[in-house]
Structure 1
Amino acid sequence: MSTGSAGGPRVSLWTVIGFLAAIEFTSGILQGYYTPMLTDIARHLAIHDADVNWFEGTQLMLSALVVPAFAKLGDMVGHRRMLLISTAIVAASSLALPFADTFWLFLVCWSVQGAYVVWLPLEVALIASRGRAQGAPPGLTVKAAGVLVAALEAGAITGALAGGALIDSVDLWLVLLIPGIAVGACFFVILFGVSETPEISGGRLDTTGLVLVSLALVAFTGGLSLLRVGGPSDGVAWAVTIVGVLLLIPFVLWELRHPDPLIDVRMFRDRSLGPVFLTAGLFGVSVLGAQAPLSTFARTDPAVAGYGLGTTGFATSLIIGLYLIAMIIGALSYSWVARWTTPRLALIIATSLVGAGYLLFLPLHDTYAQLLTNMLIAGLGSGALVGALPAVAAAAAPPSQTGVATGLTNSVKTVGGAIASCTFGIALAAGVTTGTAGSFSGYMTVWAVCGGTAVVAALALVLVPRDAFGGRDGLKKRAK
């Protein structure tokens, strides 16, 4: 089936990719825009700075819940349709933020805004589906994913710069209104610029599976949040976390018996997909869990704590900005490396770069140049993985499970980040004897864990068949 215009299928597909890149640019704005104004938001809501952590925790929990459902519904009723619905939800919650004048109302709007996490998995699934229907080469999905990630990171840089500039000169309510307007514009970009995926599986949503996995994820991520607050001696937090893990057992048993499961758990046993999901979870440890500790380490005054760089806010933001630029380069370079080697080897190189970047922190962390060099190396690998993981999952998954597979890379990455956030918080608090953000041994733990998990991911990818992700003819497919 071809949905191409007069200009040809390839032109039509790249036009769609261009529209989707605009959506990811807006997603990046959402992720970078609010950071410079969190203190202003706390003052506006009359809350303590520490309570701002609730924003991250609740949004993380919602993202873990919404991705499996929206990814499956994308396969069932159309990826474009679910992209439209999720964009409308994000627009409504973003536009409500300026008028939410109480902490709990603001928290609800902020959490619902986190539905933007489904955009990238749905977009990659849509591109993969259209590419198959139009006979495009398999590598196009990987290349397109790199473009989307580059747009996302460019949006994050733009958002951080714009947010920081506006908050100093414009009223807070007007500053908060701008992202909602941008997301509202994205709704019409999708409505008029993106056509529906040609592969729609139909069927009925596995509501029992959705309830079971939602309960498991809420308990697990909620327990980790309690551990981060109460510390490792909090028995209730441990109990809630363990209950979340145990709830996965009835979910898996149900999914194995269901004729059209919410998540085909057999994909975790696939020689091509299993290591990809494992890599996504391990990658989440560094890409979602390590950025805040790296920022606080750089800001720590060495004259007081005996470690750190004592950088200014601008110097720290420069590190973050250059790290994001490195991610853009990594995202755009992955398809070229995969073409000259193999997608499997390119993934191994990317995870190795992440591991090398963080392990270099163990001996090299005393100067600004060392910190920046380490972050640039890790950023190259991280940028490649953000786009490549959903793309290769889409290539290896059965057509009826494309959205689910891309969504799973996001879900397990989120779980990995939640575990890391809890673990790193406990590690940084252990042994603190001064008023600084964390202990030096805690920072060493962060770097060692981030580097070690990346090394494990690289070793897991060695087990993937050499010809994996190279096209449908070379992949092991499960007929549905």
Structure 2
Amino acid sequence: MSKSSRATAGRGAALAALAGAQFTVMLATSIVNVALPQIRSGVGLSDNGTTWVINAYGLAFGALLLAGGRVADLLGRRSVLLAGLAVFGAASVAAGLAESSAALIGARTVQGVGAAAIAPAALALVMDVFPPGPARGKALAVWGAVSGAGGAAGVLLGGVLTQAWGWSWIFHAVGIGAFGVVAAVAAFVPHNRPGTDPGRFDLPGTAAVTLALTALVWGLTTARSSGWTDASVLTAFGLAAVLMAAFVLIELRHPRPLLPLRLLRAGRVTAGNFLMALLGSVWIALFFFLPQYQQQVLGSSPLMTGFGQLPLAAANMLGSTLAPRVARRVGATVTVAAALLSEAAGLLWLSRVSAHGSYLVDILGPSMLVGLGLSIAFVQLTALSVEGVAKEDAGLAGGLVNTSRQVGGAIGLAVLATLAGSVTNHVAAHRTYPEALTAGYRVAFGVSAAVLTAAALLAVLLTRRPGDLTATPASLSAPAVTAPHG
């Protein structure tokens, strides 16, 4: 085998290990959705406690991503990734062994902490292993495929394991997978040098933004059950605003800020992150509402609900494969806008689901259209969000784009769940319960389609540059650091 062939094989093994890390993070986000009724009875959860089985993971994950990205830059991305995977795996096993609601929710919180270290470190390592060019485009395509497939696979695996062995195995399986990825990363991912001068880490800024995101995500998730005008919810939002203002002031004065302005000025980082937040706002909600419709309205078992996600996952992998090729041919702007419109069309189709429908008529076609658009948009927005970023900021850039998606998802799910619940309660007064649920889901899917349509229009305005309709995205073909654009 030639030297170049060995290098290519080595990069491929490293990418497989890093993609496995991303897959486990996405899997843990969706795998619990199908099993919630069984988890509730298994550990005696209340209605509010059942919600926090999901929220505890998302809260810790979203709040700590920026900090995780910067710590990875300073202490070494490979080391932080391995530590995050170990924490994540141990917490997953602990969740499966939990015999009380407090133990389960606590384990899910620690899972989120581990995920906040994994996601930005793994993405930064992909950028380290694959320099700008076609190879990075293909690597990001794999990244997009496993990210989207992780959400769909979570529903499938959750259904299979819950029906076969019980809910605890959804956590044990994730834990076993995480430790397998630890071995793969240790074997195949090369070491990288830690950053310089870790003693000047922006601790005040990190504390401010972490607490701000915690307050924001907590307020959003609590609003779903307590209402938007609840005193604790309003207090959380007010605290988040104050802390975010403090974070901005700290960043303007700190010599080594957590979020330096150079990062937001690089390439199309700001536009990519804003659009990723809009994409995330409907992404997480989709994998929440679709299984609920299949089980509560169509009467599908957890197993059949899981299998119903396979066409979406297949479309997702196809779209991720096509994304770099499409982007090289028509440019970033057209690719993002077309992908968002494709997903919007699929969600608009889903907004016509029926209380007396079927999987083949109501779900199969639109879910494939959604999966295709979602994957292409995710791959290209990830590329834009790391475009032109200096090597020493790669972990932070990965943390920022994951934060945008996660916080956008928390906002979207809170708003859409509240809206769907309000419609369901109104319709339930004069219709059957399945019809009332369907009415709520239809509104949620319709609003999601409107959000993505607006995002597609914004993509044209925010990401287009002169000649971009035929240009290759800078993140896939340009030098490592491009000229800043404000």
What amino acid is aligned across from residue 248 of structure 1 in structure 2?
M
Distance 1:451 1:174 in 2: 35
Q: Which residue in 1 is equivalent to 2:233? A: 237
Distance 1:185 1:179 in 2: 10
What amino acid is aligned across from residue 243 of structure 1 in structure 2?
L
Deviation (angstroms), 1:471: 3.5
Cα RMSD for the two superposed structures = 3.0
Deviation (angstroms), 1:251: 0.6
Aligned partner (choices 211, 215, 234) of residue 211 of structure 2: 215
Which has the higher mean CA deviation after the structures are superposed, 158-167 or 108-117? 158-167
Deviation (angstroms), 1:293: 2.4
What amino acid is aligned across from residue 347 of structure 2 in structure 1?
Y
Q: Does 1:124 align with 2:123?
A: yes
Distance 1:228 1:47 in 2: 17
Q: Which residue in 1 is equivalent to 2:371? A: 379
Which has the higher mean CA deviation after the structures are superposed, 431-440 or 203-212? 431-440
Alpha-carbon contact 2:156-2:303 (below 8 Å) kept? no
Q: Which residue in 1 is equivalent to 2:420? A: 428
Aligned partner (choices 303, 308, 320) of residue 309 of structure 2: 320
Q: Which residue in 2 is equivalent to 1:330? A: 319
Q: Which residue in 2 is equivalent to 1:206? A: 202
Task: Sort the Cα spacing of 1:221 and 1:167 in 2 relative to 1 into closer, same or farther, 3 A.
Answer: closer
Count of aligned positions: 465
Q: Which residue in 1 is equivalent to 2:409? A: 417
Task: Sort the Cα spacing of 1:201 and 1:391 in 2 relative to 1 into closer, same or farther, 3 A.
Answer: farther
Q: Which residue in 1 is equivalent to 2:101? A: 103
Deviation (angstroms), 1:118: 4.5
Q: Which residue in 2 is equivalent to 1:471? A: 477
Q: Which residue in 2 is equivalent to 1:305? A: none
Alpha-carbon contact 2:73-2:393 (below 8 Å) kept? yes
What amino acid is aligned across from residue 460 of structure 1 in structure 2?
L
Distance 2:257 2:269 in 1: 17
Q: Which residue in 2 is equivalent to 1:393? A: 385
Q: Which residue in 1 is equivalent to 2:140? A: 145
Deviation (angstroms), 1:55: 1.2
Q: Which residue in 1 is equivalent to 2:270? A: 274
What amino acid is aligned across from residue 119 of structure 1 in structure 2?
I
Which has the higher mean CA deviation after the structures are superposed, 413-422 or 141-150? 141-150
CA-to-aligned-CA distance 1:380-407 (integer Å, 9 cap, x gap) = 1112233333333223322222221122
Distance 1:461 1:96 in 2: 42
Which has the higher mean CA deviation after the structures are superposed, 162-171 or 456-465? 162-171
CA-to-aligned-CA distance 1:215-258 (integer Å, 9 cap, x gap) = 11111111112211112332331232132123211111211222
Q: Which residue in 2 is equivalent to 1:357? A: 346
Distance 1:102 1:299 in 2: 26
Which has the higher mean CA deviation after the structures are superposed, 88-97 or 45-54? 45-54
Which has the higher mean CA deviation after the structures are superposed, 433-442 or 370-379? 433-442
Task: Sort the Cα spacing of 1:387 and 1:440 in 2 relative to 1 into closer, same or farther, 3 A.
Answer: same
Matches within 5 A, 1:32-47: 33-47=31-45
CA-to-aligned-CA distance 1:280-311 (integer Å, 9 cap, x gap) = 1100111012332233344555xxxxxxx565
Distance 1:11 1:106 in 2: 40
Alpha-carbon contact 2:342-2:369 (below 8 Å) kept? yes
Q: Does 1:197 align with 2:192?
A: yes
Distance 2:261 2:244 in 1: 11
CA-to-aligned-CA distance 1:292-348 (integer Å, 9 cap, x gap) = 2233344555xxxxxxx5656555444423222221211121112122222333222
Deviation (angstroms), 1:211: 0.6
Deviation (angstroms), 1:81: 1.4
What amino acid is aligned across from residue 123 of structure 2 in structure 1?
V
Q: Which residue in 2 is equivalent to 1:292? A: 288
Distance 2:292 2:444 in 1: 12
Deviation (angstroms), 1:428: 1.6
Q: Does 1:23 align with 2:21?
A: yes
Alpha-carbon contact 1:124-1:394 (below 8 Å) kept? no
Q: Which residue in 2 is equivalent to 1:186? A: 181
CA-to-aligned-CA distance 1:38-79 (integer Å, 9 cap, x gap) = 333222212235522111111111011221111112222222
Alpha-carbon contact 1:390-1:407 (below 8 Å) kept? no
Distance 1:392 1:139 in 2: 15
Task: Sort the Cα spacing of 1:120 and 1:335 in 2 relative to 1 into closer, same or farther, 3 A.
Answer: farther
Deviation (angstroms), 1:277: 0.8
Task: Sort the Cα spacing of 1:428 and 1:26 in 2 relative to 1 into closer, same or farther, 3 A.
Answer: closer
Distance 2:349 2:167 in 1: 40
Distance 1:108 1:393 in 2: 32
Which has the higher mean CA deviation after the structures are superposed, 197-206 or 285-294? 197-206
Task: Sort the Cα spacing of 1:55 and 1:312 in 2 relative to 1 into closer, same or farther, 3 A.
Answer: closer
Counting aligned pairs with the same residue, the percent is: 23
CA-to-aligned-CA distance 1:187-218 (integer Å, 9 cap, x gap) = 12212221123684554321111110011111
Distance 1:131 1:175 in 2: 33
Task: Sort the Cα spacing of 1:199 and 1:456 in 2 relative to 1 into closer, same or farther, 3 A.
Answer: farther
Which has the higher mean CA deviation after the structures are superposed, 459-468 or 345-354? 459-468
What SS does the corresponding residue of 1:247 show, helix, strand or coil? Answer: helix
Distance 1:175 1:356 in 2: 33
Distance 1:359 1:165 in 2: 29
What amino acid is aligned across from residue 125 of structure 2 in structure 1?
L
Q: Which residue in 2 is equivalent to 1:306? A: none
Distance 2:31 2:3 in 1: 36
Q: Which residue in 2 is equivalent to 1:48? A: 46
Which has the higher mean CA deviation after the structures are superposed, 434-443 or 448-457? 434-443
Alpha-carbon contact 1:32-1:157 (below 8 Å) kept? yes
Distance 1:64 1:446 in 2: 23
**Structure 1 unaligned blocks of 5 or more:** 302-308
**Structure 2 unaligned blocks of 5 or more:** none
Task: Sort the Cα spacing of 1:125 and 1:429 in 2 relative to 1 into closer, same or farther, 3 A.
Answer: same
Alpha-carbon contact 2:31-2:158 (below 8 Å) kept? yes
Task: Sort the Cα spacing of 1:270 and 1:451 in 2 relative to 1 into closer, same or farther, 3 A.
Answer: farther
CA-to-aligned-CA distance 1:144-172 (integer Å, 9 cap, x gap) = 12213323555555555454344444466
Deviation (angstroms), 1:363: 5.5
Task: Sort the Cα spacing of 1:475 and 1:460 in 2 relative to 1 into closer, same or farther, 3 A.
Answer: farther
Distance 1:166 1:223 in 2: 32
> What's the TM-score once normalised by structure 2's chain length?
0.85
What amino acid is aligned across from residue 424 of structure 1 in structure 2?
L
What SS does the corresponding residue of 1:430 show, helix, strand or coil? Answer: helix
Alpha-carbon contact 2:295-2:305 (below 8 Å) kept? yes
